[in-house]
């Protein structure tokens, strides 16, 4: 009788473990899908609006970063204490079309 109870207990434990692992896997898959499609309404466009074009390290604490958003570039000075917009609304160069 006790052997049957122990076997049933182990079987329940294994089933619960498989169920929890399946829930973790499904949650990870769902989060990856939601993250790749974007929750902000970007679904279906496939166009990236924001990009870091170039960065230049000035010293150990500061760096210049050129950021592009919707074909307009902005030059930023990033530091540990504050960030500063150096120049804004720089027209981005035209990208050559791929054949």
Kindly report, residue by residue over 8-22, the tens digit of the pLDDT.
889 999 999 999 999
Q: Is residue 98 part of a domain?
A: no
- Tokens coding 97: 């079309």
Same domain, yes or no, for 1 and 38? yes
Same domain, 16 and 39: yes
**Is a pLDDT exceeding 60 seen at residue 38?**
no
60 and 41 housed in the same domain: no
pLDDT per residue as tens digits for the range 60-80: 999 999 999 888 899 999 999
**pLDDT for the residue 43:** 46
Q: What is the DSSP letter of 40?
A: S
User: How many other C-beta atoms lie within 10 A of the C-beta of residue 39?
Assistant: 8
In a domain, 30, yes or no: yes
Segments forming the whole domain that contains residue 24:
1-46
pLDDT bin (cut points 50, 70, 90) of residue 1 is low
81-to-10, 49, 77 alpha-carbon distances in Å:
57, 27, 11
């Amino acid at each position: 009788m006790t052997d049957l109870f122990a076997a049933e207990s182990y079987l329940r434990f294994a089933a619960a473990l498989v169920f929890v692992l399946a829930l973790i896997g499904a949650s990870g898959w769902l989060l990856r899908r939601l993250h790749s499609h974007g929750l902000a309404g970007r679904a279906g466009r496939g166009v990236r609006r924001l990009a870091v074009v170039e960065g230049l390290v000035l010293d150990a604490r500061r760096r210049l970063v050129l950021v592009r958003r919707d074909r307009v570039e902005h030059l930023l000075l990033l530091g540990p204490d504050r960030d500063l917009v150096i120049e804004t609304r720089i027209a981005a160069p035209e990208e050559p079309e791929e054949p």
